[in-house]
Structure 1
């Protein structure tokens, strides 16, 4: 063969390779590479544990609820209970047995199939494990699986609020039986589940860095509707000011909660507000033996602190007056609260009684607490009541019972763990309620709550709960103030945030949120 032919062929080959590479490069430039859709939002505090049975997370419940799923849930924007892992259910005539039919084709993140036996194992872990949230299944007598697709829960006594307990933000979730068995080190796998996860949800826990943040990635094998976002990036940013700066700089897409209400009316052009119904109720809980035990002083104080005088100044259009001891979304009372309106009579009553001093403890350093207390102090000064307010140390609000140095009233958020009035009454008002901050007791009201908790007729039950609530109010145990909306500030174009009224504010549903751009 002529050497020149060989050389020519080699040159042509190299030219062909070059042209092919050039064509590939040009094609790559003409066709943009696939980019992940990533949602970036901060949590103000670290997640204590990712174990869905063993921690009362508030900020972090959105992440947990997108990794794990329960039998039922609240529909977004509603207190309506709909199926999740259960496609249907039936309740026995005696109100004791709940039968759930499971969805088909569901798998855990580790590949294990969802079976009725897996649900039974998870629910028994929640009920029997002595865990932080075991109380939610305290009325459950038996949990069984008659077949692979059916779960039967038998109660000790009728509990009309039971489905609400299951739908709660902190309701029982279903954990992979494989993970529970492999990682049980005589601790019911609590240590492993604190920083790992194996649920059925639309997202998997991909990364957890204490004090820094979390990453969730979309579950490619999810049994339900495919989420819009491939990844949820959740840095821990404790300072709200830093969160806002990062949002304005485009480093975050959302500030889910605690955005100052005073700034909402003049957001930058690229930001917008999503406001949704909420069960966030600000209220004053009153210490026994305080000046507010005197009916004359209490009436004068109620006149001065009437929320209609200050709610718009503090919250703008994002709050409404509380109508009862229950959130407005939970119960629409037949006889709403009416604050006295005669300021001159209130001033005369205080003048007659002599010097009246009140102290208010604030449950949190969040801006809304300070804005409310500032207005209360100003309003009370108008009738001659000298009032001071101070932020309580972390956890101190839960140690006020029997403390002689405790403030005369505690300003806090009164929000239940589910949307049924039973959950509100049993959390805050009855004698042994865990959030009966001052340990006050009103047996006649508690007896009415006992009866109300057995009623399935909504109108009948609500009338009883309202009657009990009125007794707690008239006895001066609690002073409801305002119900505040769930307010999320985010980049324009984000929609379908999936906020649920009975959940803590700002708990976005990562399975529904999407860009409209």
Structure 2
């Protein structure tokens, strides 16, 4: 799957595009699908990663390709592509007649502009497109990428979730792309659905774009995302049929068990193969006490991830052992492990110069908690607070009221520690490198916000990014995982439990490796 770029054969336009399906029946046009949102601050996935933005953005914007079953790269805005024999030139031919939602044609110049925006602004844009040295648009419907080295994960990065095609005629006006007003107001996209209503405090409503470039698609008339932050409220609405679709960590493990017994509701863990969501405790490594490795090691010995897996996830997840999810093709179990050992944790703190003070505490810190989603962050933080109290470490939990507040604090490095988590994506250059690359220490959420820099790690990352031999890449990523755990860049929590709950009335429910983050071109309603 990851060496798709190396197969230099043109790819013909598939007869059917969109997400793989969980149901097979004669599709019907029309109807409104109701999902939910727990909050978002932008609809432009070119400048923001994560599911909150990615789920609606993948409907609003198209990419050059989509990812189908078994990670197959499928045509989308690009009807075909060809890779040169030396793997340093990739030529894309765009579909005829594709237009933005304002009727303006989509051209190679828009694709070039979009890639440059992602490269400069996305949390891992440089990791995805850093080896693209130049982009040519010899014709309106042709784009030529020139690379300085082969990039195994390039095509995977060209889907709408990671490189949405933006209208250059709107965004190329000199304004900051991260705060551009058109990211949220009068949004003009290139995908199957247009923005009809955007009120982040209430709901987001998308409507079918009648002039979408795939004839007869999408089937749905509307997708509505009401703001629902409370997990129990989501469960009740799913049971009543008021929500049709709830993906990711929107439903807790015990709620999934409850919903499996509900009439008219389906629960599946399909559609997350490419995601690999990993929870972790992120520490600001710029200042003491967390710049001290012994302190990080003490915390690692104080946290029992097996216990958390059983209590929070009902045993439906595995403890995290490093930056790669156990389902990732490059995962390695050959990493240092920090078994629960409170006596050892206390001894490490004593030896590091953090004895219990006259006030009864070794030190104190504030732990930020994104409390709206994923739901597991709050109980994890409460457990950490209780465990560290046994070591005479005072932890204050600061629960962020909304996504924007938390993002601003973490992205500006104004924090001691935070509960966090991120997607692996199938190729580590897309989702993993961003957290460890010295050059990716940015004021951007889900980059290297913790401030980690290790030259040996950087050399391994650079080598793995361009290695085309699968076995050699696996060996490099095994070393990367080992160093990450030796350095304790993060303290990993149990892996996330991700499930999709969807109504019986949904046909072709998204089940490709990217699930809810893929275009809903083929999704329809039975009634």
TM over 0.5: yes
Among 66, 74, 86, the alignment partner of 2:67 is 74
More deviation in 306-315 or 391-400? 391-400
**Match in the other structure for 2:24:** none
The 3-state SS of whatever aligns with 1:216 is: strand
Distance 2:242 2:226 in 1: 11
Shift of 1:307: 1.5
Q: Which runs of 5+ in 1 are unaligned?
A: 1-33
**Match in the other structure for 2:427:** 420
Q: Which runs of 5+ in 2 are unaligned?
A: 1-27, 357-361, 401-405
Distance of aligned partners of 1:282 and 1:75 in 2 relative to their CA distance in 1, 3 Å threshold: same
**Match in the other structure for 1:275:** 269
Contact kept in structure 2, 1:70 and 1:174, CA below 8 Å: no
- TM-score computed with the length of structure 2 as normaliser: 0.74
Contact kept in structure 2, 1:53 and 1:131, CA below 8 Å: no
**Match in the other structure for 1:235:** 226
Among 319, 326, 329, the alignment partner of 1:328 is 326
Among 181, 205, 220, the alignment partner of 2:195 is 205
Matches within 5 A, 1:84-483: 84-104=76-96, 106-112=98-104, 114=106, 118-124=107-113, 126-127=115-116, 132-133=121-122, 137=129, 139-147=131-139, 149-167=141-159, 169-173=161-165, 175=167, 180=169, 191-192=181-182, 194-209=184-199, 211-224=201-214, 226-256=217-247, 257-267=249-259, 269-270=262-263, 271-276=265-270, 277=272, 278-288=275-285, 290=288, 301-337=299-335, 339-341=337-339, 343=341, 346=344, 349=347, 355=356, 359=365, 361-366=367-372, 367-379=375-387, 384=391, 386=393, 388-391=395-398, 393=400, 394=406, 395-400=408-413, 406-407=415-416, 409-415=417-423, 418-433=425-440, 434=442, 435-483=447-495
Shift of 1:66: 1.6
Contact kept in structure 1, 2:149 and 2:466, CA below 8 Å: no
Contact kept in structure 2, 1:43 and 1:236, CA below 8 Å: yes
Among 37, 49, 73, the alignment partner of 1:43 is 37
Shift of 1:450: 2.0
Deviations 1:111-136 (A, max 9, x none): 5555xxx1233422551699744756
Distance 2:81 2:227 in 1: 39
Shift of 1:38: 1.1
Root mean square deviation, CA, Å: 3.9
Deviations 1:189-245 (A, max 9, x none): 955564334444322333444643333222344443633422212333444454444
Distance 1:285 1:184 in 2: 36
Count of residue pairs brought into register by the alignment = 466
Distance 1:338 1:69 in 2: 42
- TM-score computed with the length of structure 1 as normaliser: 0.75
Shift of 1:315: 1.2
Distance of aligned partners of 1:107 and 1:496 in 2 relative to their CA distance in 1, 3 Å threshold: same
Higher Rg of the two aligned structures: 1
The 3-state SS of whatever aligns with 1:361 is: strand
Distance 1:41 1:303 in 2: 40
Q: Which has the higher contact order (CA 8 A, sep 6+)?
A: 2
Contact kept in structure 2, 1:70 and 1:173, CA below 8 Å: yes
Distance of aligned partners of 1:344 and 1:281 in 2 relative to their CA distance in 1, 3 Å threshold: closer
More deviation in 470-479 or 419-428? 419-428
The 3-state SS of whatever aligns with 2:312 is: helix
Matches within 5 A, 1:477-496: 477-494=489-506, 496=508
Shift of 1:139: 4.4
Contact kept in structure 1, 2:278 and 2:423, CA below 8 Å: yes
